[in-house]
Amino acid sequence: MNSLPILQKGHIALSTVCQPVVFPDLDLAHQLTQMHATLADFRSQKGFGRAMAASQVGLNKRIIVMNLGASAFAVINPSITWRSQDMQTVWDDCLSVADCVVRVQRHSSVSVTYQDEQGRVRHWQELPADLAELLQHEIDHVDGILMTDRVLQASDIRPIADHASLIISSRPQTSSFA
Ligand SMILES: [Zn+2]
């Protein structure tokens, strides 16, 4: 009942650079509830979706909600503080791109600094490949960049019907981390 519509590719909100959250933010708790509900709804309907950015539901804030299986949490005002020289090539999906999957290049590892729901600063050092890929996708969203903007050639785009064979089968069990 708190769920919001997920905007689709072509909507201006998805190509807008989002504004930082300034603490205290009186709207934040309610907006996080709505975002968590929206991600949970999508997961129950589609069977995938580990994270979602605020821009995908039309909120102009630098917020990502995540659910890696154990619990849901928020990543606020994220920034990448280090990128590995090593790159990985991955097939990627997006809640806001319903019709295709795309092949993109991501750094194999990144370190990220962010704030939690209370505004406390937190750090992730040298994330494993699957989480590094996910955070680069989501931080792109808060900067107004879609995975399709990073496609280099036509053969890097495949129909969503290939989702299971290209993504579900290749994606490792999501790493756990504290
Ligand atoms: Zn996305």
pLDDT in tens, 141-161: 999 999 999 999 999 999 999
Pairing of strands 63-67, 121-124: unpaired
Q: What's this model's pTM, rounded to 2 decimal places?
A: 0.94
Query: Lowest mean pLDDT: which of 56-60, 124-128, 146-150, 163-167?
Result: 163-167
Provide the pLDDT for residue 170: 73
Provide the pLDDT for residue 172: 63
Distance 147 CA to ligand 1 centre (A): 7
Distance 80 CA to ligand 1 centre (A): 17
Cβ neighbors of 120 (< 8 A, separation 6 or more) are none
Pairing of strands 72-83, 157-159: unpaired
pLDDT of 178 higher than 50: no
Query: Lowest mean pLDDT: which of 43-47, 56-60, 127-131?
Result: 43-47
Distance between CA atoms of residues 16 and 10, nearest Å: 11
Cis preceding linkage at 172, omega within 30 = no
Segment 76-89, tens digit of pLDDT: 999 999 999 999 99
Provide the pLDDT for residue 174: 58
| pLDDT band of 40, cuts 50, 70, 90 | very high
Q: Which residues are catalytic?
A: 138
Distance 52 CA to ligand 1 centre (A): 6
Distance between CA atoms of residues 56 and 39, nearest Å: 10
Distance between CA atoms of residues 62 and 88, nearest Å: 25
Distance 17 CA to ligand 1 centre (A): 14
- As a whole number, mean pLDDT of residues 59-64 equals 98
pLDDT of 176 higher than 90: no
Percent above pLDDT 90 for the chain? 85
